Structure 1
Amino acid sequence: MPATLESVAAAAGVSRATASRVLTGSPRVSESARERVLAAARELSYVPNAAARSLVTRRSDTVAFVVCEPEEKFFSDPFFSTVLKGAHHVLAAHSLQIVFVVVSTDEDRDRLERFAAGGHVDAAMFVSLHGSEDMPTRLDALGVPVVMAGRSLHPGAASLPVVDVDNAQGAVVATRRLLERGCRRVATISGPTDMAGAIDRLDGWRRALAEAGRTPADEDVAEGDYTVEGGHRAMQRLLDLSPPVDGVFVANDLMAAGALRAVADRGLAVPDDVAVAGFDDIPIAQATQPPLTTVHQPIEDLGRTMAQSLVASMGGERAPLHVRLHTHLVVRASA
């Protein structure tokens, strides 16, 4: 038979209540009793009853990792798994589990809200928020601590914790690199313009051109969807412009990989005919031909910092409202 709390208490020579306090982490026990209970638990291979513990603590010890994209996009973009890796390091150290949730339909949203209202998650982190997404505010209204990767464009989410990178400044630095190379017409492939990070990167591109005394043109902006194919399609449109584009800042590395393929399809050379700079510095940036000059953002640190924010909130502390992480340019052969 599996060991019970009663058998652990008997082996340690303490009451059931004392054994329970030790095994739930309460400080209200003597060091001698703590050592005896922990030794007995190890000897008997005691495994706590999670359901019973949840009834006492009113916690599930589970954090939801919510990606507001279709499932196939999560598995095709290493950005998400890298954020998840960073979050897992922190949450595992606090004996917290992660449940992965995809939210892309109204049914998904209602299901997550019911799941959270039922006490099955203690907190939630949101990644890849699009314009009117209201799930962070819906969970916050239930009393569930939340944190967002990048600010939300939903007006009700303005007071919720955010961990972000300096998207605008990263875009400025990448665009300046193209201008310093002598590029005469610098265009951009933006991310979806219903996402705050994509808007900030587009603003950074515009700011860098304005600082150089150039007027950003609407036709020099091709909107993409943060996928390789989306970058390929957007680059094809830019390559049809006249006079020709000879520099392109791309708002993420997956789209930049597609853009490089589009340039090669036209028989043009990178960077001699068209210089390309990306954003993210995911592993694909080193594997493209040529290797991609890109803005490095600390993606794993993003996940760690989000998890730390949630751990603080779950412990009753006030999480920072807005944490901004730094970026830097990694120069390779594409620009």
Structure 2
Amino acid sequence: MRMILVDKERSKMKKITIKDIAKIAGVTHPTVSRSLNDSNLVSPKTKEKIKKIADELGFEFNASARRLKTQKTETIAVIFPTNFYHIEAEQFFRMLQKNLIESVEKNSYNVIFQTAENSFTGESNIKKVIAQNQVDGIIIALNNLKKEDIEYIKRSKKECLFLYYKNEIDENSKYFGVDNFYGGYIATKHLIENGGKKIATISCDDEISEFYDRTRGYKKALEEAKIKLEENLIFNRGITFESGFDWVSENKDIINELDAVFVQTDLMAFGVLQGLKKIGLKVPEDISIIGYDDVDYCKYFSPQLTTIHQPIEDLVKKACQELINKLEGKSKKMEGVVLKPYLVKRGSV
């Protein structure tokens, strides 16, 4: 492509238009507009050529005017729980947030993050972003959304999906999640395959579906192996490092009888590893430990933590693409998906 030399003083006096770009590129005005909008109707080669010309001419595409005309904001709201920044949830939601930003911005959309409620007034942030027409679509990433918020979203006819957490109120809502039952099953099965017979699990509140499902998977693996389920070996704790550490000091007698422990979050598992070290038990020589999530820190503990990897990156990509395809009219309806987690073998089993 020939180089375009623009006299700076001249460019200041004359405002570059789409017509100018079309004339230089030898294409029609709609082709320029589609290219700057990153439309799939234009070939990648032509889009690249037109964008390069626009850049060299100092052309600034007025996206705000186009949004006013189309009545679209090209923005997606992601709704997180109010405690997403707490230490027990921070790792997971930071990973979720990173992948959401990448997936949404890759599709030339904007993303805003909100908690479901204003932490001072208790008012619904969901109603606010919809009423002020701030977004085209909504991604819900929390497990206890109020019924009135769900009904408000329905009435607004905004496209919406549930990410990772199921909508227990409306079974017809689009859900993109991970099979936590399968995750709990393969975690426990791996411990059994490595000689575990007396296996405890440390879970959290059974009312939270992800932990309820992981515990069901744990029970299923024991049942298949014809290992008697002992209800006293199922512990419900908080999902913090301290919870795992304290569990060890509070249950020394039981721990001495165990072959293995399935800890249902990595953060708790790190606490368990430290607690076991303090009382003189070696992992995996004396007892095996498996976690859940596969956060970055798993590689840096000693021993490195065997865990269940959640395919968050793939899940977010699929969810965002489905939502954006629906917003842009490329599909008539969204298809939810449930992905299977997988085992990551390291040194704690």
- Identify the TM-score tier after normalising by the shorter chain: 0.7 to 0.9
SS of equivalent residue, structure 2 residue 73: coil
SS of equivalent residue, structure 2 residue 290: strand
Q: 2:321 aligns with which of 285, 308, 326?
A: 308
Counterparts in 2 of 1:58 and 1:209: CA distance versus 1, 3 Å: same
User: Residues 230-280 of structure 1, C-alpha deviation per residue, up to 9 Å, x if partnerless?
Assistant: 333344444453773331111121111112122222222212222110112
TM-score calculated relative to the size of structure 1: 0.83
* Alignment-derived partner of residue 11 in structure 1: 20
* Alignment-derived partner of residue 347 in structure 2: 333
User: Residues 127-182 of structure 1, C-alpha deviation per residue, up to 9 Å, x if partnerless?
Assistant: 242476764554343222222223425322x1111111221112111111222333
How far apart, in 2, do the equivalents of 1:116 and 1:98 lie? 14
User: Residues 178-208 of structure 1, C-alpha deviation per residue, up to 9 Å, x if partnerless?
Assistant: 2233333211111332322211101001111
User: Residues 74-119 of structure 1, C-alpha deviation per residue, up to 9 Å, x if partnerless?
Assistant: 7963322322333333322221111122336674661232112211
Count how many residue pairs are aligned between Structure 1 and Structure 2: 330
* Letter matched to residue 85 of structure 2: E
SS of equivalent residue, structure 1 residue 225: coil
The structure whose Rg is larger is 2
Q: 1:193 aligns with which of 206, 229, 248?
A: 206
RMSD (Å) for aligned C-alpha atoms: 3.5
Structure 1 contact 226–255 (Cα < 8 Å) conserved: yes
Structure 1 contact 123–146 (Cα < 8 Å) conserved: yes
Deviation at 1:294, TM superposition (A): 0.8
2:152 counterpart of 1:143: no
* Alignment-derived partner of residue 46 in structure 1: 59
Kindly indicate whether structure 1 or structure 2 has the higher relative contact order, using CA contacts under 8 Å at least 6 residues apart: 1
Instruction: Mark the runs of 5 or more structure 1 residues left unpaired by the alignment.
Output: none
Structure 2 contact 206–212 (Cα < 8 Å) conserved: yes
How far apart, in 1, do the equivalents of 2:33 and 2:184 lie? 52
TM-score calculated relative to the size of structure 2: 0.80
How far apart, in 2, do the equivalents of 1:161 and 1:257 lie? 34
The range that moved more, 96-105 or 268-277, is 96-105
How far apart, in 1, do the equivalents of 2:14 and 2:236 lie? 60
Instruction: Mark the runs of 5 or more structure 2 residues left unpaired by the alignment.
Output: 1-8, 24-28
* Alignment-derived partner of residue 107 in structure 2: 94
User: Residues 192-227 of structure 1, C-alpha deviation per residue, up to 9 Å, x if partnerless?
Assistant: 323222111010011111122233233212223333
* Alignment-derived partner of residue 125 in structure 2: 111
Q: 2:181 aligns with which of 153, 162, 168?
A: 168
Structure 1 contact 87–305 (Cα < 8 Å) conserved: no
SS of equivalent residue, structure 1 residue 84: helix
The range that moved more, 158-167 or 315-324, is 315-324
How far apart, in 2, do the equivalents of 1:131 and 1:191 lie? 19
2:93 counterpart of 1:80: yes
* Alignment-derived partner of residue 290 in structure 1: 303
SS of equivalent residue, structure 2 residue 302: coil
Matches within 5 A, 1:150-161: 150-156=164-170, 158-161=171-174
The range that moved more, 67-76 or 91-100, is 67-76
How far apart, in 2, do the equivalents of 1:302 and 1:35 lie? 30
Report % sequence identity.
Answer: 26
* Alignment-derived partner of residue 143 in structure 2: 129
SS of equivalent residue, structure 1 residue 72: coil
How far apart, in 1, do the equivalents of 2:252 and 2:320 lie? 42
How far apart, in 1, do the equivalents of 2:56 and 2:147 lie? 50
Q: 2:273 aligns with which of 257, 260, 266?
A: 260
